[in-house]
């Protein structure tokens, strides 16, 4: 029993976050900033706070520079960035805020 072309395409999409167009060229289904945010949360889940912090700096640089296109997602992106900063802070300071 072998892997069919459809299975290969589905596996490629799951691993890389991209889809294959009918012409055979990749179409990306996630923005790079989304992939970096996912990697940040993965680093947090693994308790690798140094990597998480570096990914957060990269994400912040990407989101705060002048947008290439006015797509209306800036506010949502900034909210995600703030939430990521808060998550990292709480992971690094788990004892603060428990006494309230």
For 74-94, write each residue's pLDDT tens digit. 788 889 999 999 999 999 998
- Cα 51–Cα 43–Cα 19 angle in degrees, nearest 5: 110
Which pLDDT score, from 0 to 100, does residue 29 have?
80
Which pLDDT score, from 0 to 100, does residue 7 have?
46
Distance CA 90, CA 83 (A): 11
Which pLDDT score, from 0 to 100, does residue 77 have?
87
CA 12 to chain centre: 18
| 28 against 2, higher pLDDT | 28
Please report, for the chain, the start and end positions of each structural domain, with discontinuous segments joined by +.
1-30, 31-94
Which pLDDT score, from 0 to 100, does residue 74 have?
79
Instruction: Region of 24 please: left (phi>0), alpha (psi -120 to 50) or beta.
Output: left
- Condensed to tens digits (0 to 9), the pLDDT of residues 11-65 reads 444 545 556 666 777 777 888 999 999 999 999 999 999 999 999 999 999 988 8
Paired strand residues for 19: 27
- Condensed to tens digits (0 to 9), the pLDDT of residues 4-15 reads 444 434 444 454
């Amino acid at each position: 029993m072998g892997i069919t072309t459809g299975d290969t395409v589905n596996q490629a999409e799951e691993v890389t976050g991209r889809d294959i167009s009918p012409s055979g060229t990749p179409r990306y289904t996630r923005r790079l900033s989304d992939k970096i945010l996912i990697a940040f949360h993965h680093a947090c889940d693994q308790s690798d706070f140094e990597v998480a912090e570096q990914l957060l700096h990269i994400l912040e640089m990407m989101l705060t520079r002048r947008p290439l296109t006015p797509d209306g997602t800036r506010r949502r992106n900034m909210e995600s960035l703030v939430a990521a900063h808060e998550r990292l802070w709480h992971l690094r300071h788990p004892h603060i805020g428990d006494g309230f």
